[in-house]
């Protein structure tokens, strides 16, 4: 028998050490090292030497008689997965506690079961009665879903192997599973890795689609070893704010579909409701006529999404002004502020800057630069932007406005929602000739700043614009070039 050796493994990132220490050098977390048996991953009977068996090799031209995908019955979930569940695929779903992961999967399994497929929901955190209470609250108590409260991977695999192979299996959650092949406590890095490996092997062998629910750490990353994310076929992130009713399902990794699609849901008393037109929902509570708000026409995957960007620029009493942003990349905000000060003369070094994406949506594409800049200048000079205008365009470090992809799709979505004009890059004007909107093309950020400042009345120490003060199209007003006292 091989000698058992002990090691200390970080339960946050999976780094191993020969001795215990308070802080993990790999991820920087404190008190996350736990003692584990490094040789207990595989039993002795399996570790014994044996001659490998030969297996048949197949060609790429083979035909598959099974349907390539299986619809879940939820349009937004199918959009994120790429059209439905692929047979034998394994998905890892992560999200903050209480965000609605169990609610989403309960609805998905119920719809699959009602469609005539065998769907199994196995919970390692709740009893069967608790799962039934949730189903009754959602109005799904009559769905023929098979429930179980079990944590042993060997017992789960043995039970699911009997009878018809399930089409969908939900494991809630992978951190509660344990296997006999590992001599560690449930929830440790070794147990999570070994349990996931056994479930993935079962999925590939039988063709059942398995969804693993994963806990997240305080910084939003899925807990456990990162190797689990590499082992599964897709990683989905369920995002949202506790105070907001909107929930965003985003694909972080997907071997069978795109990774830039999002699914939008609304949390109601009867569970999650799919939002087919998220733009209309995000703009339903706009504060029209207020300075510092701009509507951004963005693209999430293949779907155009219109969302409101809110900015607040206020004089600061601190030595170092605050820069706070919610729903956007803080690095891009810093870049936009630097371009405004360097090329447009907009001095924001003595102001606190706050930027928020309304509705809880997280924007990742650089096309939001122009809308963010417009909202910032609008708040600074107290000039409300036109309520029927949308903004999109990428800002370069030289102050030029660069074109972005899918201009026509953005403008068609804006026209459908009743917007009448669009501020876009000058080089993208040719792609938007048939959109039916009044187009205001800008080649540089200086032009946009001058147009907004001409309508505004700066607050505080800013001088009000004179009627006889000319504002050239490509020039920055003189009041922006003066340093604030």
Same domain, 162 and 35: no
Which of 276, 308, 330 is at the close of a domain?
276
- pLDDT at site 253: 92
Residue 56, domain member (yes or no): no
Residue 426, domain member (yes or no): yes
Nearest residue to 447 (alpha-carbon basis) of 467, 469, 423? 423
Which of 276, 293, 312 is at the close of a domain?
276
Residue 426 has pLDDT above 50, yes or no: yes
Contact 14, 226 (CB under 8 A): yes
Residue 107, domain member (yes or no): yes
Same domain, 222 and 194: yes
Name the domain count of the chain.
3
- pLDDT at site 17: 87
* For range 443-451, the mean pLDDT: 93
Residue 77, domain member (yes or no): yes
- Residue range 64-79, pLDDT digits in tens: 655 578 899 999 999 9
Residue 38 has pLDDT above 50, yes or no: yes
CB-based contacts of 458-466 (< 8 A; 24+ apart in sequence)? 458/380, 458/381, 458/382, 459/382, 460/315, 460/484, 461/315, 461/485, 462/381
Percent of the chain residues past pLDDT 90, beyond the cut: 50
Same domain, 439 and 473: yes
Same domain, 311 and 264: no
Residue 5 has pLDDT above 70, yes or no: no
- pLDDT at site 178: 93
* For range 285-298, the mean pLDDT: 88
Residue 157, domain member (yes or no): yes
Helices (H) and strands (E) in the chain, counts: 13, 23
- Residue range 146-190, pLDDT digits in tens: 999 999 999 999 999 998 999 999 999 898 999 998 887 888 888
Same domain, 272 and 292: no
Which of 276, 291, 314 is at the close of a domain?
276
Sorted by sequence, the CB contacts under 8 Å of residue 482 that are 6+ apart come out as: 347, 463
Cis peptide before 173 (omega within 30 of 0): yes
Q: How far apart are CA 322 and CA 354, in angstroms?
A: 8
Residue 143, domain member (yes or no): yes
Same domain, 129 and 15: no
- Bridge partners for 169 per DSSP: 120, 210
- pLDDT at site 179: 93
Same domain, 240 and 384: no
- pLDDT at site 219: 63
What does the mean pLDDT of the chain come to? 85
Q: How far apart are CA 452 and CA 187, in angstroms?
A: 56
- Residue range 185-217, pLDDT digits in tens: 888 888 888 999 999 999 999 999 999 998 887
Q: How far apart are CA 286 and CA 284, in angstroms?
A: 6
Full 3-state SS string of 244-304:
CCEEEEEEEEECCCCCCCEEEEEEECCEEEECCCHHHHHCCCCCCCCCCEEEEEEEECCEE
CA distances to 156, 207, 382 from 87, in Å: 19, 5, 56
- Banded model confidence at residue 145, pLDDT cuts 50, 70, 90: very high
- Residue range 375-402, pLDDT digits in tens: 999 999 999 999 999 999 999 999 999 9
End-to-end CA gap in the chain: 79
- pLDDT at site 137: 93
User: Structural domain of residue 372, as residue ranges?
Assistant: 281-481
Can you list the positions of beta strands (E) in 84-191? 85-86, 90-95, 119-123, 146-149, 168-172
- pLDDT at site 434: 66
Same domain, 378 and 461: yes
- Banded model confidence at residue 42, pLDDT cuts 50, 70, 90: very low
Percent of the chain residues past pLDDT 70, beyond the cut: 86
- pLDDT at site 77: 94
Same domain, 332 and 224: no
Of residues 459 and 421, the one with the higher pLDDT is: 421
Residue 126 has pLDDT above 90, yes or no: yes
Residue 358, domain member (yes or no): yes
What's the CATH number where 270 sits? 3.40.50.300
Our CA angle for 464, 465, 466, nearest 5°, is: 115
Same domain, 435 and 476: yes
Q: How far apart are CA 367 and CA 402, in angstroms?
A: 9
Same domain, 258 and 323: no
* For range 338-366, the mean pLDDT: 90
**Distance of alpha carbon 284 from the chain centroid:** 22
Residue 467 has pLDDT above 70, yes or no: no
Same domain, 123 and 171: yes
């Amino acid at each position: 028998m091989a000698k058992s050796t002990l090691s200390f493994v970080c339960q946050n990132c999976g780094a191993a050490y020969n001795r215990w220490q308070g802080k993990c050098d790999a991820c920087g977390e404190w008190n996350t090292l736990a003692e584990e048996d490094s040789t207990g991953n595989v039993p002795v009977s399996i570790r014994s030497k044996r001659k490998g068996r030969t297996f048949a090799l197949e060609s790429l031209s083979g035909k598959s008689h099974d349907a390539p995908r299986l619809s879940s019955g939820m349009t937004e979930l199918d959009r994120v997965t790429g059209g439905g569940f692929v047979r034998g695929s394994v998905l890892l779903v992560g999200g903050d506690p209480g965000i609605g992961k169990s609610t989403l999967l309960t609805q998905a399994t119920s719809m699959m079961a009602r469609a005539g497929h065998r769907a199994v929901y196995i919970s390692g955190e709740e009893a069967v009665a608790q799962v039934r209470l949730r189903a009754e609250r959602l109005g799904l108590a009559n769905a023929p879903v098979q429930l179980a409260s079990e944590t042993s991977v060997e017992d789960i695999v043995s039970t699911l192997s009997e009878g018809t192979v399930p089409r969908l299996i939900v494991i809630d959650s992978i951190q509660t599973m344990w296997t006999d092949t590992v001599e560690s406590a449930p929830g440790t890095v070794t147990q999570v890795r070994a349990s996931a490996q056994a479930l993935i092997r079962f999925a590939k062998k039988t063709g059942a689609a398995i969804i693993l629910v994963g806990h997240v750490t305080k910084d939003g990353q899925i807990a456990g070893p990162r190797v689990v994310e590499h082992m599964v076929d897709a990683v989905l992130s369920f995002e949202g704010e506790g105070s907001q009713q909107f929930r965003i399902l985003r694909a972080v990794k997907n071997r069978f579909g795109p990774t830039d699609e999002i699914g939008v849901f609304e949390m109601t008393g009867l569970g999650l409701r799919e939002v087919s037109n998220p733009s209309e929902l995000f703009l339903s509570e706009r504060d029209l006529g207020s300075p510092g708000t701009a509507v951004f026409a963005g693209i999430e995957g293949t779907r155009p999404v219109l969302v409101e960007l809110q900015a607040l620029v206020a004089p600061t009493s601190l030595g170092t002004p605050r820069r706070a942003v919610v729903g956007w990349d803080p690095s891009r905000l810093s870049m936009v502020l630097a371009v405004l000060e360097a090329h447009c003369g907009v001095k924001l070094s003595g102001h606190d800057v706050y930027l928020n994406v309304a509705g809880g949506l997280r924007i990742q594409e650089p096309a939001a630069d122009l809308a963010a800049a417009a909202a910032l200048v609008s708040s600074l000079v107290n000039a409300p932007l036109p309520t029927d205008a949308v903004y999109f365009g990428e800002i370069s470090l030289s102050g030029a406005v660069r074109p972005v992809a899918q201009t026509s799709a953005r403008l068609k979505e804006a026209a459908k929602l009743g917007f009448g004009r669009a501020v876009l890059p000058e080089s993208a004007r040719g792609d938007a000739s048939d959109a039916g909107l009044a187009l205001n093309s800008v080649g540089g950020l200086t032009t946009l700043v001058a147009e907004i400042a001409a309508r505004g009345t700066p607050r505080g120490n800013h001088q009000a614009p004179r009627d006889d003060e000319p504002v050239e199209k490509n020039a920055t007003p003189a009041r922006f070039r003066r340093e604030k006292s």
